[in-house]
Amino acid sequence: MYGAKGKIDLAFEYQSQVAVLRPSIHSRRANLTVKFQDLYGFTVEGNVDDVNVMNEVREKVRQQGRVWWALEASKGANWYLHTVIGQGNALKSSLTFSALANALTLKKIIRKGIPPVLRPKVWFSLSGAAKKKSTVPDSYYDDLTKAVEGKVTPATRQIDHDLPRTFPGHPWLDTPEGHAALRRVLVVYSFRDSDVGYCQGLNYVAALLLLVMKTEEEAFWMLAVLLENVLVSDCYTNNLSGCHVEQRVFKDLLTKKCPRIASHLESLEFDVSLVTTEWFLCLFSKSLPSETTLRVWDVIFYEGAQVMFNVALAIFKMKEDELLLTHHVGEVINILQRTTHHLFDPDDLLTVAFDKIGSMTTNTISKQRKKQEPEVMKELDERIRRLESFKMEDK
């Protein structure tokens, strides 16, 4: 269905087949939990209020689609390819007035969401994936797929272990065809970058990329540009040093941006990384509803990885009053999990992320990372020494 050979364009049955969700009158009266499928095939559980929000979101998707089509009509097809963003999301001073206007328009409408039918093309172009693919022969993915077929490594064994646990119950991902496509993408990448190999969390990211891009090859290149250009290096290496750095940076930002929350959680001896590590490793794909996750990815692929900090901080900010009333770590976790699972309206989250949390440039985050790296590496080295000493004692 979504694989390299089955290029059925879902177009996500979206313009004509995005059905309005209509719970029964009994459900409405009793406010029972209802189940329904979202735009990407995931089963969602929610109450009638959630269903109403989903219907509103789908109408927003239609409206945003009309905005994109109008821009295509007025500015020309692929107009967004002629905008350039400099380091740290600063617009390059050499831009012409027209290109500058396009860049500002593009940033604004990407934050409002890329229509599902346009996502594959826009992501592939703006993320740098198309450029990365153009540097190798056209047959690169197919050749590498054939070259690694049948090879067994620790990475391939872990991938095989994780396949059935990746979005179980999804109508395509949780099928032999879906497992095979996801396995090929992950295995091929594990051979492309042996330093990363495979890390748990990438299965969820790659699975969602497959659903959006609809072909294995394009999903592979999106995964490549994500790991090699968009995210901080070493996030998915064996010692996860990059991920540890990100968690330290986030804790600092939480103290600065949400001091009351940070102080209260510290009094509870709650380590936010218990929750946020998964958010960062899976890019929210295990936590947020699919369309909300993809709206976050829309911005990440254009503006950069610093967006994840905005989003993570926004989740805490949105529940500040509730979090300040907690007395136990378990209450905090329950509030955050309940919140993320029911954030069906991406605009609610992204409005807080950008309007209330405020702008954070790549340069700002880079400075924070450099500040935290030495301490992280020191801790990892100490951990290795302790493990080695335990091994010596066992002998």
Which pLDDT band holds residue 5 (cuts at 50, 70, 90)?
Answer: very low
- How do the domains of the chain map onto residue ranges? 241-394
Using one digit for the tens of pLDDT, what is the confidence trace for 348-362?
999 999 999 988 878
From the number of C-beta atoms within 10 Å of its C-beta (0-12, 13-18, 19+), residue 312 rates as buried
Superfamily of domain 241-394: Ypt/Rab-GAP domain of gyp1p, domain 3 (1.10.472.80)
Q: How far apart are CA 89 and CA 364, in angstroms?
A: 11
Q: Quick one: pLDDT at residue 88?
A: 44
pLDDT at 150: 95
What is the Cα–Cα distance from 162 to 168, expressed in whole angstroms? Answer: 11
Helix%, strand%, coil% for the chain, nearest 5: 65, 5, 30
pLDDT in tens, 58-73: 999 999 999 999 998 9
Look up the pTM and report it: 0.87
